[in-house]
Amino acid sequence: MSADDADVVSDPDIRQTPAVKATGERTDTLLQTDGLVKQFGGFTAADSVDFAVEEGELRCLIGPNGAGKSTLLKLITGKHAPTEGSIYYDGTDITDFEPQDRVKRGISMKFQVPSVYNDLSVRENVRLPVQRFATGEERARRIHEAIVAAGLEGYEDVPASSLSHGQQQQLEIGMAAALDPDLLLLDEPVAGLSVEERQGIADRITRLNEEAGIAFVVIEHDTDFVAGIADEVTVLHQGDVFREGPIEEIESDPAVQKIYLGGEGE
């Protein structure tokens, strides 16, 4: 975390809470990208992507290596500026918003590279995002909620370095959730984890989705994991949406199988 991030969530009141939190029902589109293009030099990593997420939805994003999955999430968070196209969030055009203004609006992300502070305890790690916007009793409550969200009760005083890789990933999800997002973006949260650890992460994601109403976009390759958590799956291929649908349909689609084998698809 840099000093620039210090005031990221200094004014949580600015946030608009989507209706899903009040009603428990999906009412609206939360996120929409419109013709999103990202070029790196002459290479097109995102090729006119139209992608939408409903309030409270749990979407998985799959596709072969280099398909543009991480790039799409970085465009949504504002880490990358698009070459062309627009991003709408909760009815607002956020295409030109700074990353911290997107966080204020309710978009939170856990990146592919783990970023917990090894020398700090679980509680101290969780305090970092929370102390930016909450004080006193509310701070204590939110720290506790984030530890529960991470599934790390009983580990509060353990240094992050002593946690398993899976627990560290859980901690990061708790830290991202501590920002009270309406949309949480996770880039390969179970890469390199055991089956048991994967289940721990799946439980964290499912609970935050169902109990806190947080919408998710989760990048993941493992179809068992995806089948266990996702409502709908989006397949990216060569920088654009290739297929969308339930995992069973996607898995049995010969064209999807073909792109994973290194073919060109259709």
Minimum Å gap between C-beta 234 and ligand ADP is 12
**Judged by CB under 6 A, does residue 70 bind ligand ADP?**
yes
**Do you know the residue count of the chain?**
266
Residue with Cβ nearer ligand ADP (120 or 191): 191
Q: Which of 45, 150, 175, 259 binds ligand ADP (CB under 6 A)?
A: 45
Helix (H) or strand (E) holding 240: strand 240-245
Q: Residue 233 binds which one of Mg ion, ligand ADP, none, with CB within 5 to 8 A depending on kind?
A: none
Residues 179, 104: contact at Cβ < 8 Å?
no
Q: Which of 20, 33, 51, 71 binds ligand ADP (CB under 6 A)?
A: 71
Minimum Å gap between C-beta 68 and Mg ion is 9
Name the residue whose CB lies closest to Mg ion. Answer: 70
Minimum Å gap between C-beta 241 and ligand ADP is 13
Q: Which of 28, 40, 115, 195 binds ligand ADP (CB under 6 A)?
A: 40
Number of residues that bind Mg ion (CB under 5 A): 1
Lookup result for tokens 């499912």: 206
Alpha carbons 169 and 201: distance in angstroms, whole number: 8
**Which amino acid is present at 166?**
G
Q: Which of 63, 78, 129, 166 binds ligand ADP (CB under 6 A)?
A: 63
**Segment interacting with ligand ADP, rule: CB under 6 A, options 60-68, 120-128, 162-170, 195-203:** 60-68
The DSSP line for 145-193 is HHHHHTT-TT-TTSBGGGS-HHHHHHHHHHHHHTT--SEEEEESTTTT-
Minimum Å gap between C-beta 235 and Mg ion is 14
Residue with Cβ nearer ligand ADP (71 or 209): 71
Q: Where are the beta strands (DSSP E) in 41-161?
A: 43-54, 58-62, 84-89, 92-93, 107-110
Minimum Å gap between C-beta 232 and Mg ion is 20
What are the backbone angles phi and psi of residue 44, rounded to the nearest 5°?
-100, 105
- Interface mask toward Mg ion for 61-90; x: CB under 5 A: ---------x--------------------
Minimum Å gap between C-beta 43 and ligand ADP is 6
**Judged by CB under 6 A, does residue 78 bind ligand ADP?**
no
Of residues 127-146, those binding ligand ADP (CB under 6 A): none
**Which amino acid is present at 197?**
E
Beta carbons within 8 Å of 93's beta carbon, 6+ residues apart: 86, 87
Q: Which one, of 246, 203, 239, 247, lies nearest residue 221 by Cα?
A: 247
End-to-end CA distance of the chain: 43
Which residues lie near ligand ADP (CB under 6 A)? 40, 43, 45, 63, 65-71
